[in-house]
């Protein structure tokens, strides 16, 4: 594969990632509302601990550290977004 083909693959993956990220973020809105209505903390430690088992199957061993970092970033963004939503609707979290 030459660099142009590889670049097209990256561009295609990027075009797919953004809608998936938006879908995930929309789900976070519902989660934030539920947690707010039930006086639950934003951080879900159990879910964070379970994530390697959910996403690791099928991931090449050499990519696992990067997948872990990707999910750590996604979890952080989700928490920040949920915190922002909850503070808009109910004051400080």
Q: What CATH code is carried by the domain that includes residue 35?
A: 1.20.59.10
Per-residue pLDDT, averaged over 3-31, amounts to 95
Contact 82, 42 (CB under 8 A): yes
3-state secondary structure of 62: helix
pLDDT of 93 > 50? The answer is no
The domain total for the chain is 1
User: Residue with structure tokens 């990220």?
Assistant: 21
pLDDT score recorded for residue 2: 96
What confidence tens digit (pLDDT) does each residue in 23-50 have?
Answer: 999 998 998 889 889 998 888 777 777 7
Q: How confident is the model at residue 90 (pLDDT cuts 50, 70, 90)?
A: low
Range of the domain at 44: 3-90
């Amino acid at each position: 594969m030459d660099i142009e083909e590889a670049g097209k693959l990256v561009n295609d993956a990027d075009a797919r990632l953004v809608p998936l990220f938006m879908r995930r973020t929309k789900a976070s809105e519902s989660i934030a509302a539920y947690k707010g209505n039930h006086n639950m903390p934003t951080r879900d430690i159990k879910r964070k601990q379970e994530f390697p088992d959910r996403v690791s199957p099928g991931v090449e061993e050499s990519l696992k550290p990067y997948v872990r970092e990707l999910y750590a970033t996604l979890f952080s963004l989700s928490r920040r977004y949920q915190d922002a939503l909850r503070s808009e609707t109910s004051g400080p979290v």
